[in-house]
A = this chain, B = another copy of it.
Amino acid sequence: MSENRGIILHGPVRQKLSLLALLFAVGLSARGETPVEIAAALGHTMRTNSGAFEIVRDLTTDIGPRLAGSDAEKRAAQWAKKRFEQFGFDRVSVETFPLEHGWARGEEKAEVILPSPQPLVVTALGGSVATAPEGIEAEIALFKTYDELLAQPTNSLAGRIAVVTEPMIRTQDGSGYGAAHRIRGEGPAQAARRGAVAFLMRSLGTDSHRLAHAGETAYETKGLRIPAGALSVPDAEQLERLAARGPVRVKLLLTPRDLGSVTSQNVIAEIKGSEKPDEVVLLGAHLDCWDLGTGAIDDGAGVGIVMAASKGIHDLVPRPKRTIRVVLFGSEECGLWGGKAYADMHKADLDHIVIAAEPDFGQGPIYRFETGVANPDEWTLNQIRFALAPLGVIRGENGSHGESDIEPMAGLHVPVVTLQLDGRDYFDFHHTADDTFDKIEPERINQSAAVYAVFTYLAAELGGDYRAKASVEAKSIAP
């Protein structure tokens, strides 16, 4: 993919002129148009050139990798703060929070020692302990499914490196990841219970490249902690072939470090509402990323989408009645710490959040509008659905629990929506060195930014209420 060479208009004046020109062109009056008409024009303009592509380019180039709690993540926060200030947003701030355990990747090497010496591509799982400095060499015990590992008795894997090669299935909605996710989360602890000296798994990924997929694991509080890594998909398949031929000895070296207590931060910026500034439409995305790539897909794309959507509203249409708040969270990847800290620090304020949304599943396009509200048939939601249809977005169910960082606030009864991103190729790149800017496609991310702009503008302008009152209504309708 080459970069988009299209020219972005800079400065609100030229852009508002450009929108006016568009409104006339599509036969609308520049004055007196309805919110849905304004949203339609906004979506139409942004779909061609939203600025999201350029935001991802700058974040991934000027900062690069930005691991939770790292200096790079702090630089990313300052970068975002400055960018919001340049946009002319209100109340731009950085909120610091503590992170109990910073973690830094070290060396990572694996190789087959017997029967046929060859290197294996491996990466340490997030939070993994290190091997001895000289590495661990042991025979492997290979399981083609995670359930096979779980079926092994206690201590039956003594002295072995446990290897789980269960594949992850490609789906549009990420359900394949959901199904295989426990292998990474619990696998090392379960292997340790059975006496294994280390744990290796086939990467949670849908590609077939020699690139391993990172991601957080969790040990049991009182359990033994063994080094844990993910192999690239071709390497996991190679171990399957070798294990089918006889015993396989593997040497593993991982030297990650627990950095102890560090800090991370959320960046917050607002477009103050013109009539109801205390009512907030919240957009989230996360600034941190795994360190192997530059986090273009996860979650540079989300950052680009929400920054571009809010900037589009700021620059191109009359200021909406409610406040739009953008939160770029820190330390999502290692345990939703930014989202938890935000919900905790703003507990008293959560009632003011009318609705929240976060893109954290790649660049799109967005194909479905899934609500997580008390009253999915409320009239403003239907207005939003009507406005999203020309962008190719269908009505969803009411099953959203919010994406990643807004889950903690959704758990505290903040209404949420999920604008579902097409994630068919998301796990080809997710958490790998391959998550870089060249994977971003202008047409895809522009559509997503346009959808976010339309949703956000209408949620901030139309005055819908998606919680208390509606719950009462729902109850009264019940038999």
Q: What is the interface of chain A, defined by CB distance below 8 A to chain B? A: 1, 57, 61-65, 72, 75, 112, 115-119, 121, 208-211, 233-234, 237-238, 241-242, 245, 293-294, 432-434, 436-439
Contact = CB atoms under 8 A, between A and B. Distances in A.
Contacts of A121: 433
Contacts of A119: 65
A176 to B, nearest CB: 16
A210 B432 contact: yes
A61 B238 contact: yes
Contact of A234 (B62, B116, B118, B434): B434
Q: How many copies does the complex hold?
A: 2
A209 B211 contact: yes
B210 A245 contact: no
A238 B437 contact: yes
A62 B116 contact: yes
Contacts of A437: 234, 237-238, 241
Which of A62, A233, A234 is most buried by chain B, counting CB atoms within 10 A of its CB?
A: A234
Given A62-B115, A64-B238, A65-B119, 15 more contacts: A57-B241, A64-B112, A64-B117, A65-B118, A75-B116, A118-B294, A209-B209, A209-B434, A210-B293, A210-B432, A210-B434, A210-B436, A233-B438, A237-B438, A241-B437
Contact of A208 (B75, B237, B433, B438): B438
A436 B233 CA distance: 11
Contacts of A233: 438
A256 to B, nearest CB: 15
A291 to B, nearest CB: 8
A91 to B, nearest CB: 28
Nearest to A296: B234
20 contacts: A61-B116, A61-B238, A61-B245, A62-B116, A62-B245, A63-B116, A64-B116, A64-B117, A72-B116, A75-B116, A208-B438, A209-B209, A209-B434, A210-B211, A210-B293, A210-B433, A233-B438, A234-B436, A234-B438, A238-B436
A406 to B, nearest CB: 29
Nearest to A112: B64
| 8 nearest A-B pairs in the assembled complex, by CB-CB distance | A64-B118, A210-B433, A234-B436, A61-B241, A234-B438, A208-B438, A64-B116, A210-B434
